[in-house]
Amino acid sequence: MAQHELGALLLTTEHDILYLTGFLTRFWQSPTRPWYLVVPARGKPVAVIPSIGAALMGRGWIEDIRTWPAPVPGDDGVSLLAQALKEVGGPVGIPSHLETHLRMPLADFEALKAQTQMSFGPDHGILANARAVKSEAEIAKIETICSVAGRAFARMGEIAGEGVPLSTVFRNFQRLLLEEGADWVPYLSGGAGPDGYDDVISPASDTPLKAGDVLMLDTGAMKDGYFCDYDRNFSVGQPSQEAANAHSRLMEAVAAGLETARPGACASDLWRAMADIVGGGETTGRLGHALGLQLTEGLSLIQADETELKPGMVITLEPGIETVEGRMMVHEENIVITTGAPRLLSPLAGSELTVI
Amino acid sequence: MAQHELGALLLTTEHDILYLTGFLTRFWQSPTRPWYLVVPARGKPVAVIPSIGAALMGRGWIEDIRTWPAPVPGDDGVSLLAQALKEVGGPVGIPSHLETHLRMPLADFEALKAQTQMSFGPDHGILANARAVKSEAEIAKIETICSVAGRAFARMGEIAGEGVPLSTVFRNFQRLLLEEGADWVPYLSGGAGPDGYDDVISPASDTPLKAGDVLMLDTGAMKDGYFCDYDRNFSVGQPSQEAANAHSRLMEAVAAGLETARPGACASDLWRAMADIVGGGETTGRLGHALGLQLTEGLSLIQADETELKPGMVITLEPGIETVEGRMMVHEENIVITTGAPRLLSPLAGSELTVI
């Protein structure tokens, strides 16, 4: 903050505030109330939050907690926040780059600018850079939820097979994740079809699995606020040669990624190592990303991302490949960068496609 | 839009875009990619979205779908969006009021303003007002997920009782919701303690339930994109007189709310009808809210909200009461406003606290 001559950071989103305060709650699901954290260049943070959150915020390390009985139409915390910012002094940095947003009504932001007459600008990625390198405690949490998902994937045969609708598989896989210890399953996607799937972001259909389908489930399950994010592919009955070959190729790409993932290498180096194997050339899309408090956060394994890898970064290796026209397979593993070879947080899949 | 002299709306958030396009996906969990919908005052909407979403968006009614291979650092869809807005013409309305935010990096919003040189201002609540009155199809979806939660609550005795840690109850209740047909459980909160709980937004602790505890679970489960949002209180063994009385009082407040919930009454009338019974006077907080695509959306049952009730509005009645110093009980039901008496979407709780 000193380097960028910032007097304060203004944070408004769930994960930035969780990272700095430990304020973990599913209450963010409600859009009604805004939450603010002011981080001064010197001194302690000030939480400016709805009174309903005071008790939970008070259990953490934040001492200066100022509340209002939100929702209050007309002045929903804006004058209280303006006062806190004026005490601390500006200029005020706000996360403004890719992947960020301001979780505050635009009209309230305009009112805040008018009331404070302070200068608001970007935070220069200060918070994202801090979050990018995980502590041992954070890595342990991610490893725990990766293990939970690993145990759930190992039980796939209990819930999936020929004739089972994909929507039932989705529902029951979430149940397995909870049984194995997930606190919550914020994300589950997947697909199924012969030689792969055509889409990985659609809700599950009620179409029953058929012999020869490749079934993929990709989960972002959560424990203690931290995510895993990896997938597994399964063959319903014996796989086609195309699917078997694609899986082998994907695992080769993962191996190349593991080989390249060293401190000093760039995100784009990792992308290239995997893109060279799965093909697609320069038009190949994102082949992984960082993760932690969010399902995806920080660096992207794309050609244009020159972010240097550092020990403590947790990332996904997520190569995808076209199997036949209009169909694909995607594989994903979670790793942590160390001073030497990366450590796998997800249990590395085998070289052959698992048959269910 | 004509009344407010707007040329276009710019929509950026999950539920506004879902409402107008049917684009239902859990992929919003990833913050990496922005999604834009431009709604012209005349003519058809234009979706400006990452290419990964083109197939799913194409399954709906939107014909003009423009994509870019996000994430693209430097120009992540901004010039494509600017072009679409310039074609349509401004001024551009953006949801800017309470409960809204702009899901777009602030730096990109500044670039958009610079590139278009158009006027950006509030949407005057156009979209929120449209969403507030539900169609029969929407009400049916909310009723379906309310029934799912009702069946899960009816099985509470299977998973909760003396000695069971609260965290285990939370985990297993999510499992019950999935078994009963929820697609997903975005929200679950609750609490437990003698004569009530001190907090309703904290994560579940590992503390085992004790005889005499009041246990409350409040769920926002989802099916086909629509939420239920209601809770149930249970007594672990026989309830104290305080807890039994509080429950009776809460059900009286709900009855008063049901009596008042008629077209033409205001949100504040509903608040007052319940506040008069649960006490607390003018300092009483929010006693309910609207719901639908979001766990909470639109009107609030607070003293300051003069929104007039209309047939088709779906709202929660959520009175809370202090039982003993520092402890409370909260009860919640979901209803739809009709031309006559409101219709309950949640199965109305009994007048006596359920013993488990």
Report whether pLDDT(B284) > 90: no
Q: Please count the CA atoms within 13 angstroms of the CA of A297 that sit on its side-chain side.
A: 25
Q: Over chain B, what is the mean pLDDT?
A: 97
Q: Domain A8-131 adopts which CATH fold? A: Creatine Amidinohydrolase; Chain A, domain 1 (3.40.350)
Share of chain A above pLDDT 90, in %: 97
User: Chain B contact for A297, CB < 8 A?
Assistant: yes
Two tokens, residue A351: 């070289």
Report whether pLDDT(B208) > 80: yes
Q: List phi, psi (to 5°) of B327.
A: -130, 150
pLDDT tens-digit readout, B315-353: 999 999 999 999 999 999 999 999 999 999 999 999 999
Long-range contacts of B113-116 (CB under 8 A, 24+ apart): B115/B78, B115/B79, B115/B82, B116/B82, B116/B85, B116/B86, B116/B90
pLDDT at A296: 97
Distance CA B273, CA B301 (A): 10
Report whether pLDDT(A280) > 80: no
Mean pLDDT in residue range A191-200: 94
Task: Report CA torsion sign: B180, B181, B185, B189.
Answer: negative
Distance CA A293, CA A131 (A): 9
User: Chain A contact for B105, CB < 8 A?
Assistant: yes
ipTM of the complex: 0.96
Q: How confident is the model at residue B278 (pLDDT cuts 50, 70, 90)?
A: very high
Cβ pair A355, A238 in contact under 8 A: yes
Report whether pLDDT(B243) > 80: yes
Two tokens, residue B299: 């009107």
B189 contacts in A (CB within 8 Å)?
25-27
pLDDT at A192: 97
Share of chain B above pLDDT 70, in %: 100
DSSP A105: -
pLDDT at A283: 73
Put simply, the answer to whether A98 touches B300 (Cβ < 8 Å) is no
pLDDT tens-digit readout, A133-179: 999 999 999 999 999 999 999 999 999 999 999 999 999 999 999 99
Report whether pLDDT(A284) > 90: no
Report whether pLDDT(B120) > 90: yes
Report whether pLDDT(B283) > 80: no
Out of A98, A171, A289, name the one closest to residue B76 (CB).
A98
pLDDT tens-digit readout, A55-107: 999 999 999 999 999 999 999 999 999 999 999 999 999 999 999 999 999 99
- B291 vs A182, A205, B15, CA distance in Å? 27, 25, 12
Q: Over chain A, what is the mean pLDDT?
A: 97
Report whether pLDDT(A282) > 80: no
Interface of A with B in 112-141 (CB under 8 A): 122
Four-point Cα dihedral B148, B149, B151, B153, nearest 10: 170
Out of A94, A183, A202, name the one closest to residue B106 (CB).
A94
pLDDT tens-digit readout, A14-67: 999 999 999 999 999 999 999 999 999 999 999 999 999 999 999 999 999 999
Interface of A with B in 222-281 (CB under 8 A): none
Strands of A31-154 (E only): list them. Answer: 36-40, 46-50, 64-68, 92-94, 120-122
Report whether pLDDT(B314) > 90: yes
Q: How confident is the model at residue B92 (pLDDT cuts 50, 70, 90)?
A: very high
Q: How confident is the model at residue B279 (pLDDT cuts 50, 70, 90)?
A: confident
pLDDT at B165: 98
Put simply, the answer to whether B185 touches A183 (Cβ < 8 Å) is no
Cβ pair B221, B228 in contact under 8 A: yes
The residue assigned the tokens 């390198």 is: A133
pLDDT at A19: 98
Cβ pair B301, B271 in contact under 8 A: yes
Mean pLDDT in residue range A204-208: 95
- A348 vs A182, A317, A329, B231, B268, CA distance in Å? 20, 11, 17, 41, 57
pLDDT at B268: 97
User: Chain A contact for B28, CB < 8 A?
Assistant: no
Mean pLDDT in residue range B227-231: 98
pLDDT at A199: 87
Share of chain A above pLDDT 70, in %: 100
User: Chain B contact for A203, CB < 8 A?
Assistant: yes
Chain B residue at shortest CA distance from A74? B98
Kindly report which listed range (A129-138, B74-83, B96-105, B282-291) carries the lowest average pLDDT score.
B282-291
B187 contacts in A (CB within 8 Å)?
26, 29-30
> How far A324 CA sits from the closest chain B CA (Å)?
17
Q: What is the CATH number of domain A133-355?
A: 3.90.230.10
Distance CA B172, CA A316 (A): 29
3-state secondary structure of B231: strand
B294 contacts in A (CB within 8 Å)?
30-31
pLDDT at B154: 98
pLDDT tens-digit readout, A298-348: 999 999 999 999 999 999 999 999 999 999 999 999 999 999 999 999 999
The residue assigned the tokens 């609207």 is: B290
Out of A56, A171, A202, name the one closest to residue B178 (CB).
A171
Report whether pLDDT(B141) > 90: yes
Report whether pLDDT(B282) > 90: no
Cβ pair A354, A234 in contact under 8 A: yes
Q: How confident is the model at residue B100 (pLDDT cuts 50, 70, 90)?
A: very high
Domain residues of chain B, as ranges? 8-131, 133-355
